[in-house]
Copies of this chain bind each other. A is one copy, B any other.
Amino acid sequence: MHIADIDTPAVLIDLDILERNLRAAQAYADTHGLKLRPHVKTHKLPRIARMQMDLGATGITAQKLGEAEAMADGGLTDIFLPYNILGQAKLDRLHALHERVKLSVIADSAVTVAGYAARFTDAAHPLTVLVECDTGAARCGVQDGHEALALARQIAAAPGLRFGGLMAYPKRGDLAGTSAWLAATIPLLAGAGLAPDVVSTGGTPDMFRAAEVGEATEHRPGTYVYNDRMQIGFGHGNWADCAMTVLTTVVSRPTATRAILDAGSKALAADTAPLPGHGRIVEYPEAIITALNEEHGMVDLTPCPRRPEIGERVRVIPNHACVVTNLFDHIHLIRGDVVDEVAAVTSRGRLG
């Protein structure tokens, strides 16, 4: 099967670029003595997760239970789920997953820990729980070292739980802030006999500076596998590092300067980037995707020296690769112009 045989809109992943991105991340981690625990939310494909493991990753990261289950189904055996898992239904699923793979999770509240402690009671096979720390990103996480210590103690006191360390999602561009936060917290834990085995950081934009957080033992980048306009806007990577494109057809040319693509917000998603427009058309890089309706992408061709015709197929680098993966049932993995595999995205559309 050739790219020309794929109908549009469709997602293409260039395996050569993907492999280069995977190797670069692992090489950085190896050079700096960090473990790499890639985040699979971007690709949701066990095949790519296995490629990451083969290159030396210590395990993988999943962002929701359904994603972790799909990875276990795909043969992955060491999964970190940095999410507060709450409620009996999800705790039961978590327990079942814990029987199948080496699993670790996080908590940032006593409520979450109490839920784990009630469901996991086997001291011979404890669930590893890290404490999520808000080191500046203002998302989840305990606010200071004293809160971290209190949670670590609660975890350590539960027979069926094991305190695994600290996890943070650093504020982009402020690795020093995360480092300072961790440096203030770790001695408190160590003083209580709870020195963290693992200190896990995440994020693609700063991944090639991850070692500046000297306290970290592992890093969890996600988007780096494909890259996108958002990452490039943040200063990570170049167009040649973008492995994901959306193959689309020009369905209308209403005026000399306007083209309409058959990829709208249900194919490219409405996520914005620190660059104008909704995607980069590889063949017409001067064009601006000015707006998206659900099945239409509006393109301003004014700056373009040459312009596409109706029926022409073009490839679009999206603003945010991770959410595009979540919009398609199948992803086309390509080598050059040849389709290597049409891979099913099994963990999209699932609850939880």
Chain A residues proximal to chain B, CB less than 8 Å:
6-10, 41, 63-64, 83-84, 86-87, 89-90, 108-109, 111-112, 134, 138-143, 249, 251-255, 258, 260, 262, 265-266, 269-272, 293-296, 298, 309-311, 320, 322-323, 326-330, 345, 348-352
Q: How far is the CA of A239 from the CA of B349 in the complex (A)?
A: 26
From A258, which residue of chain B is reached at the shortest CB distance?
B138
B residues less than 8 Å from A138 (CB atoms): 258, 298
Per assembly, the copies of the chain total 2
B residues less than 8 Å from A345 (CB atoms): 349
Q: Is the CB of B351 within 8 A of A311?
A: no
Q: Is the interface of A mostly helix, strand, loop or mixed?
A: loop
Which of A6, A294, A295 has the most CB atoms of chain B within a 10 A radius of its CB?
A294
Which of A87, A293, A328, A351 has the most CB atoms of chain B within a 10 A radius of its CB?
A351
Q: Is the CB of B349 within 8 A of A348?
A: yes
Given contacts A9-B352, A141-B254, contact A326 B327 (CB under 8 A): yes
Q: Is the CB of B7 within 8 A of A265?
A: no
Task: Rank and list the top 3 A-B pairs by shortest CB-CB distance, nearest first.
Answer: A329-B349, A140-B252, A111-B310
Q: How far is the CA of A102 from the CA of B58 in the complex (A)?
A: 57
Contact for A8 among B249, B262, B352, CB less than 8 A: B352
Within the complex, what minimum Cβ distance (angstroms) separates A221 from chain B?
14
Contact for A265 among B112, B134, B323, B352, CB less than 8 A: B323
